[in-house]
């Protein structure tokens, strides 16, 4: 069946889905009710904080409110005359906590009320933390639309009463700046788009075998492994990204993938290679290797404040260790085979990260090979098989789900329906074990993307996974046809906000199939 025809049939199965009888929010809130009245948002709308304990000293809410107003206008000139009635004069935000440090498992819940009675009339947000309030502003922005007749911001189906909270605390998106460099503006654009669908962790796979683009002050020649002089990130650049993300409620998870995927490290420090002809994995026999890892993580700890660091550990081909005489001698002297050495490397790197205050995330091969030896606070990142997460939590370890057959964005044959239907708790029935699945992550590996096509490769498929990770299970559609209309409208909203989200019909990064309105693509 042609993709466009498939999408059309899905719309016909749903019906017209007008704003009066349908909730066009993405992701779907925990509970939502609404009426039938139309309101308008004043073109002089203001934010107030009456009753709030939070002072907004960092201007997190002030800046977010202004961004919300800009998003609602969609670059149109909202210069219509305010009506004498049915006018929302602004939003009052009550934050109950004075704290604004973004940590793992921070309370992201909120209540949003848009009344039809009151003088003056204003929307009301109540949240435990400022980060819950940020989500509420995003939801409010989706209730609004630019009206071309009145040239005002309209809001249909009031009054609204929404109570919302995330299902999982970790809702991630991986970007890869080693395979292709991504400019800072592109990374910030990805962060902005993440907030629209309430994703909250940017997993920054910074370096890999192809390039080492980030400055490490402790070992300044490491970024000699960058592709070019201009394709680099300074430490102030990294600080800027972290601050930009945190102000939007997004944590930044930094990754160095060791001991494999590290050939680029030796461009600046060749002694990290087993030999000049065999350059990967890192030299396990050389204490300098671990001094460099310690230096990197020391520098990271001053910039990347998220409680986790990702140490990789996947796809380690140990043949260089047995083919290099001095490493082979070291193995013999220490009564190790290559499997022992792999375990030794991962565990020693974990101890270094822990010494810098981090908890460690490792790819699942570490668990598959020596799970009982991992630090008990390790988070295992599942990517290979769908049967791994149940084994991880049964062993008492935490898990992040990113199974490649469903949640790898570089798999262009993977449709949004597959992203939507992928259930992180599949095969896990024990309630205590379910709590050990801290969330999931969609992965945008960079072999075949750069700044020119990253957005349409990520979106809208990542948004499909975002609803799975945010919304309660009872709000998740069992039949994707009943979610098609909402996701299509959200995809069009992304386009209107400047995000190059691809059409729903067809595979990832597809082009429009034929002329027609946005929601039918």
Of 315, 329, 447, 514, the active-site residue reads 315
pLDDT value for 366: 98
Contact 443, 471 (CB under 8 A): no
Whole-number Å distance between alpha carbons of 132 and 166: 10
Contact 283, 329 (CB under 8 A): no
pLDDT value for 18: 35
Whole-number Å distance between alpha carbons of 509 and 326: 47
Q: At 80, list the tokens.
A: 């219509």
CA distances from 396 to 311, 393, 400 (A): 20, 5, 13
Angle between helices 130-143 and 184-196 (to 10 degrees): 80
Long-range CB pairs of 15-21, under 8 A, 24+ apart, other chains included: 17/485, 19/156, 19/157, 20/156, 20/157
What is the CATH topology of the domain spanning 170-475?
TIM Barrel (3.20.20)
* pLDDT digit string (tens) for the chain, length 521 residues: 444 444 444 443 333 333 334 799 999 999 999 999 999 999 999 999 999 999 999 999 999 999 999 999 988 988 999 998 899 999 999 999 999 999 999 999 999 999 999 989 999 999 999 999 999 999 999 999 999 999 999 999 999 999 999 999 999 999 999 999 999 999 999 999 999 999 999 999 999 999 999 999 999 999 999 999 999 999 999 999 999 999 999 999 999 999 999 999 999 999 999 999 999 999 999 999 999 999 999 999 999 999 999 999 999 999 999 999 999 999 999 999 999 999 999 999 999 999 999 999 999 999 999 999 999 999 999 999 889 999 999 999 999 999 999 999 999 999 999 999 999 999 999 999 999 999 999 999 999 999 999 999 999 999 999 999 999 999 999 999 999 999 999 999 999 999 999 999 988 898 898 999 999 88
Q: At 459, list the tokens.
A: 């979106």
**Sign of the dihedral through C-alpha 63, 93, 160, 88:** negative
pLDDT value for 340: 98
Whole-number Å distance between alpha carbons of 244 and 250: 9
Q: At 6, list the tokens.
A: 């498939």
Whole-number Å distance between alpha carbons of 134 and 131: 5
Whole-number Å distance between alpha carbons of 265 and 144: 49
| DSSP of 340-380 | HHHHHHHHHHHHHHHHTT-EEEEETHHHHHHGGGS-TTPEE
Whole-number Å distance between alpha carbons of 480 and 487: 10
Residues 6+ positions from 387 with CB-CB distance below 8 Å: 427
Name which of 205, 184, 202, 206 is nearest 193 in CA terms.
202
CA atoms within 13 A on the CB side of 347: 15
Angle between helices 338-355 and 325-333 (to 10 degrees): 80
Contact 41, 153 (CB under 8 A): yes
Q: Name residue, tokens 């050939």.
A: 263
DSSP β-ladder status, 152-164 and 144-147? antiparallel
Whole-number Å distance between alpha carbons of 399 and 384: 13
H or E segment to which residue 435 belongs = helix 431-435
85: region left, alpha or beta (phi > 0 left; psi from -120 to 50 alpha): beta
Q: At 330, list the tokens.
A: 């070291």
Among the residues of 21-80, which ranges form H helices?
60-73
DSSP β-ladder status, 87-95 and 31-48? parallel
Whole-number Å distance between alpha carbons of 413 and 300: 36
Whole-number Å distance between alpha carbons of 290 and 293: 5
Q: Name residue, tokens 């201009």.
A: 230
pTM tops 0.85: yes
Q: At 439, list the tokens.
A: 């969330």
> Is the domain defined by 31-164 classed in CATH 3.40.50.300?
no
Q: Name residue, tokens 């601050």.
A: 243
Whole-number Å distance between alpha carbons of 267 and 265: 6
Among this protein's residues, is 423 annotated catalytic? no
Domain boundaries, the chain: 31-164, 170-475
């Amino acid at each position: 069946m042609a993709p466009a025809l498939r999408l059309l049939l899905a719309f016909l199965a749903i019906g017209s889905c007008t704003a009066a009888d349908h909730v066009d929010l993405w992701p779907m809130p925990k509970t939502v009710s609404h009426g039938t009245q139309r309101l308008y948002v004043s073109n002089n709308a203001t934010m107030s904080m009456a009753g709030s304990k939070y002072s907004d000293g960092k201007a997190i809410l002030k800046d977010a409110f202004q961004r919300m107003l800009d998003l609602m206008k969609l670059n149109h000139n909202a210069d219509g005359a305010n009506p004498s009635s049915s006018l929302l004069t602004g939003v009052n935000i009550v934050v109950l906590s004075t704290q604004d440090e973004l940590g793992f498992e921070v309370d992201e819940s909120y209540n949003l009320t848009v009344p039809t009675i009151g003088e003056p009339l204003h929307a009301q947000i109540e949240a435990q933390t400022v980060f819950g309030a940020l989500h509420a502003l995003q939801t409010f922005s989706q209730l609004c639309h630019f009206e071309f007749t009145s040239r005002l911001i309209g809001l249909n189906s009031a009054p609204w009463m929404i109570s919302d909270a995330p299902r999982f605390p970790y809702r991630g998106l991986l970007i890869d700046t080693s395979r292709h460099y991504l400019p800072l503006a592109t990374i910030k654009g990805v962060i902005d788009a993440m907030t629209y669908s309430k994703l909250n962790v940017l997993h920054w796979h910074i370096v890999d075998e192809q390039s080492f683009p980030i400055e490490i002050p402790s070992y300044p020649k490491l970024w000699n492994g960058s592709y070019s002089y201009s394709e680099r990130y300074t430490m102030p650049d990294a600080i800027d990204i972290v601050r930009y993300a945190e102000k939007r409620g997004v944590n930044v998870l930094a990754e160095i993938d060791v001991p494999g995927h590290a050939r680029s490290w030796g461009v600046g420090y060749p002694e990290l290679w087993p030999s000049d002809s065999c350059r990967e994995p890192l030299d396990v026999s050389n204490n300098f290797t671990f001094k460099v890892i310690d230096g990197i993580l020391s520098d990271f700890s001053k910039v990347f404040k998220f409680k986790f660091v990702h140490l990789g550990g996947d796809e380690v081909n140990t043949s260089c260790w047995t083919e290099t005489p001095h490493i082979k001698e070291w193995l013999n002297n220490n009564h190790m085979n290559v499997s022992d050495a792999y375990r030794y490397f991962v565990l020693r790197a974990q101890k270094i990260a822990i010494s810098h205050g981090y908890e460690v995330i490792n790819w699942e091969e570490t668990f598959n090979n020596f799970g009982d030896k991992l630090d008990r606070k390790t988070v295992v990142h599942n990517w290979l098989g769908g049967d791994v997460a149940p084994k991880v939590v049964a062993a008492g370890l935490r898990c992040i789900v990113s199974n490649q057959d469903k949640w790898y964005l570089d798999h262009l044959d993977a449709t949004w329906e597959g992203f939507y239907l992928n259930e992180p708790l599949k095969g896990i029935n024990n309630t205590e074990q379910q709590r050990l699945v801290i969330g999931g992550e969609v992965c945008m590996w960079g072999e075949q993307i750069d700044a020119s096509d990253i957005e349409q490769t990520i979106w809208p498929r990542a948004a499909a996974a975002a609803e799975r990770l945010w919304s309660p299970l009872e709000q998740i559609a069992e039949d994707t046809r009943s979610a098609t209309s909402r996701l299509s409208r959200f995809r069009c909203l992304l386009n209107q906000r400047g995000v190059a989200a691809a059409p729903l019909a067809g595979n990832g990064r597809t082009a429009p199939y034929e002329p027609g309105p946005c929601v039918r693509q």
